[in-house]
Amino acid sequence: MSDLVPEPRQKPVVPMKPVSINSNLLGYIGIDTIIEQMRKKTMKTGFDFNIMVVGQSGLGKSTLVNTLFKSQVSRKSSGWSREEKIPKTVEIKAIGHVIEEGGVKMKLTVIDTPGFGDQINNENCWEPIEKYINEQYEKFLKEEVNIARKKRIPDTRVHCCLYFISPTGHSLRPLDLEFMKHLSKVVNIIPVIAKADTMTLEEKIEFKQRVRKELEVNGIEFYPQKEFDEDLEDKTENDKIRQESMPFAVVGSDKEYQVNGKRVLGRKTPWGIIEVENLNHCEFALLRDFVIRTHLQDLKEVTHNIHYETYRAKRLNDNGGLPPMTVETEENHESNL
Amino acid sequence: MLGESMLSVFLCFPLQNDDLRNLSLSGHVGFDSLPDQLVNKSTSQGFCFNILCVGETGIGKSTLMDTLFNTTFESEPATHNEPGVRLKARSYELQESNVRLKLTIVDTVGFGDQINKDDSYKPIVEYIDAQFEAYLQEELKIKRSLFNYHDTRIHACLYFIAPTGHSLKSLDLVTMKKLDSKVNIIPIIAKADTIAKNELHKFKSKIMSELVSNGVQIYQFPTDEETVAEINATMSVHLPFAVVGSTEEVKIGNKMAKARQYPWGVVQVENENHCDFVKLREMLIRVNMEDLREQTHTRHYELYRRCKLEEMGFKDTDPDSKPFSLQETYEAKRNEFLGELQKKEEEMRQMFVMRVKEKEAELKEAEKDLHEKFDLLKRTHQEEKKKVEDKKKELEEELSNFQKKKAAAQLLQSQAQQAGSQQTKKDKDKKNVRCAVEPKK
């Protein structure tokens, strides 16, 4: 009979509690060089980042992504020709790019969802998206579970989902709520108010408050989720973002204009030029800093450590699980995550 | 631990992919802060580093550790009469600027002391495997938390070679051969101040050639990354490092330096002309610590995992070359196992039924026997009774006969007596009459 229950797990021998020794007094060892070593290694192998944009057509998704990454990442459908039909169902289009900055190589994948919310009957239009996200988790799980694993498992999981809210000025639409309710449990959702240049400052503040209230009332946890704040520092920082800045009211543009002697990205209107990166005009810069400059790594980590683990646990539970190595595994069962 | 998981997971496959478009940026996006973001996360969590020191008792393992990490790790020198090899692990938390390191030093106590050293390597191999096993267990759990797992896997094994000046001992070769596929081995010559410089060079080449000819794979300092390739290449030439350890300080010039004082001079630990301690420290800590951790995770651990899973009967592809998922294999095995369980259960049940039947038959037999015996006894008893009754009847007859006879005899006797007494009475009466008549005369 095959031996499915191997020997009982041996306890690793680490008897004593770590003794704290402050070695600064006795001389330099060089432990802090590990930071440099780590940085060199990661720069050499590069990073990857997968971002998904969801929202109805015409909300400026492609433009915003182009503005975020300062390049023609998405081929927009500006100059919308009438021959291009709206897709009948939600399609998932993933396009990969390689960008480099300051010696850091990044493989960026932008996942577009044309057709979302565009039909007359939009019931369950989030399902293809949910399916796609779960498929990426499944792909990763399959690789992870192999006997002979690849040295670096290709990561196609969606790290961040920008959800575009229409700037009606009133409240969230039922479709918005439904989508976010379903997907906030499987992916990091960052709600974004699109085309924010249609609202005045007061309207913007009110709208944001109402949106935040509605999200809270419906129990929708958008990124950064409260429960994943690691320490007090994170919590205060994230609280500020959650309660004041989010959802970011953004304007996107990839055209440059001359303002006060500088060339800035902006939108030219008869009544003035809206500067995309000007914090007085819109919150694009906040979004960019948040997603790219400070929380990019954290987005990936939450995806890997929490959303992926949740998926994995559920999947293994449903399928009878991997061989229970110790009794502990069975005690750790969670039936419905 | 966060470091490993990030390195092995977040880094994607080679970026030179045909279906990817290379884009040029028209401005500063800001993701060049990514390495910093990553490093900051690791720093806040702290790093783990685990060193295993293998060497004979008294060869200077503890002293070298103290010297390397500029501190005194509390320990007592081991005795030479340990019955076997055992491993002692101790953990320490060191901090330098904002980097926190959880250092675990594992010592082999009693290595090389026994008369029979056949099994000396076994406890070491078992310990290393146990750490891999613990990690594998965690990884296979359904609800797991790898990102704050305290990694106890050995990242570097310092093998202390005794400074005989000749060659490696057979114990060294055997042990290193057993360990080379499980851990990064860095061989060092201990107590190198007992070897003269010219002998040292010969000794080193002899050791290296013996290692090569015996196929022992020691840790190769990585030369693929430009910044470290040069220094790693130059250092590799000096392997195995001849080190001297000391925690005592001696005044040299106008500074205090770690050294060993002899009547004929002072051996300075940090002087590169005297010994290779500085080289060891550079290689082990300042240049390749991260690579040692990565190799442990991506090479040694993966090998262990693969072997372990294959041993348990999992395969990646079946005979038809269709990829199996671990799930399917598990399902198949589980069903097989359950099927066998059921079969066994059936067998046991049948055997039980059979046994019961047998016992029943036996009991019935016994019952029958008993009945027969009882009947026999009863008959015998009855016969006896009859006999006895017959005898009784006989006896009674005899008795009654005897009684009759006795009665008849008695009657006769009484009749005779009566006749006699009547006679006597007659006689008496006659006498009386005679008397009555007589006196007149």
Size of interface A-B (CB pairs under 8 A): 319
What's the pLDDT score for residue B81?
A: 75
B358 part of a folded domain: yes
Residues B187 and B234 in one domain: yes
- Given B312, B336, B364, the domain boundary residue is B312
- Beta carbons of B133 and A10 less than 8 Å apart: yes
B291 part of a folded domain: yes
For residue B41, give every residue at least 6 positions away whose Cβ sits within 8 Å of its Cβ, in sequence order, or none.
A297, A298, A301, B2, B6
DSSP states of B300-343: IIHHHHHHHHHHTT--SB-TT-PBPPHHHHHHHHHHHHHHHHHH
pLDDT tier, B437 (very low <50, low <70, confident <90, very high otherwise): low
Contacts of B36 in chain A (CB under 8 A): 39
pLDDT at B320 over 60: no
Residues B235 and B361 in one domain: no
Per-residue pLDDT of B366-405, as tens digits, reads 999 999 999 999 999 999 999 999 999 999 999 999 999 9
Residues B211 and B66 in one domain: yes
Give the pair of three-digit tokens for residue B350: 């049948």
Contacts of A100 in chain B (CB under 8 A): 25
Of the residues B10, B16, B283, the best mutation for testing chain A's interface (the one with the most A CB atoms within 10 Å of its CB) is: B10
Domain A45-74+86-252+280-318 sits in CATH at: 3.40.50.300
List helix spans (H) across B225-322.
226-236, 277-281, 289-295, 302-311
In chain B, the largest separation of any two C-alpha atoms, in whole Å, equals 207
List helix spans (H) across A96-183.
127-145, 174-183
What's the pLDDT score for residue A39?
A: 85
Q: Where are the domains of chain A?
A: 45-74+86-252+280-318
Residues B232 and B166 in one domain: yes
Chain A: give the shortest CA distance to residue B130, in Å.
6
- Complex ipTM, two decimals? 0.76
Structure-token match 């402050």, residue found? A22
Low-confidence spans in chain A with pLDDT less than 50 = 1-17, 23-25, 77-83, 322-337
Render the burial of A305-334: b for 16+ CB within 10 Å, e for the rest: bebbbbbbbbbbbeeebbbbbeeebeeeee
Residues B158 and B275 in one domain: yes
Contacts of B317 in chain A (CB under 8 A): none
Residues B193 and B333 in one domain: no
Strand partners, A113: none
B27 part of a folded domain: no
- Beta carbons of B133 and A22 less than 8 Å apart: no
B193 part of a folded domain: yes
Per-residue pLDDT of B245-270, as tens digits, reads 888 888 878 888 888 888 888 888 88
Query: Could you list the residue range(s) of the whole structural domain that residue B62 is in?
Result: 41-312
Domain holding B101: CATH number? 3.40.50.300
Q: Which of B155, B189, B181 is nearest to B280 (CA)?
A: B189
For B257, other C-beta atoms within 10 Å of its C-beta total 15
Residues B281 and B339 in one domain: no
Closest CB from A18, A43, A96 relative to B19? A96
- Beta carbons of A95 and B21 less than 8 Å apart: yes
Determine the 3-state secondary structure of A309 from DSSP: helix
d(CA B304, CA B326): 17
Residues B209 and B257 in one domain: yes
Residues B122 and B230 in one domain: yes
- Beta carbons of A23 and B106 less than 8 Å apart: no
Structure-token match 């991997």, residue found? A322
Give the pair of three-digit tokens for residue B42: 């690791």
Per-residue pLDDT of B123-138, as tens digits, reads 899 999 999 999 988 8
d(CA A212, CA A192): 11
Contacts of A147 in chain B (CB under 8 A): 305-306, 309-310, 314-316, 326
Residues B247 and B127 in one domain: yes
- Given B289, B312, B335, the domain boundary residue is B312
Residues B173 and B294 in one domain: yes
d(CA A37, CA B225): 11
Contacts of B74 in chain A (CB under 8 A): 19
- Could you tell me if A191 and A215 are in contact, meaning their C-beta atoms sit under 8 angstroms apart? yes
What's the pLDDT score for residue B269?
A: 87
- Beta carbons of A32 and B147 less than 8 Å apart: no
What's the pLDDT score for residue B37?
A: 84
Closest CB from A1, A6, A10 relative to B337? A1
Q: Are strands A262-269 and A272-275 parallel, antiparallel or unpaired?
A: antiparallel
- Beta carbons of A20 and B92 less than 8 Å apart: yes
Q: What is the DSSP code (8-state) at residue A248?
A: E
- Given B388, B403, B419, the domain boundary residue is B388
Interval B224-242 mean pLDDT: 85
Count of the separate structural domains present in chain B: 2
Residues B208 and B287 in one domain: yes
Indicate the residue type of A21. Answer: I
Contacts of A155 in chain B (CB under 8 A): 9-10, 12
What's the pLDDT score for residue B438?
A: 60
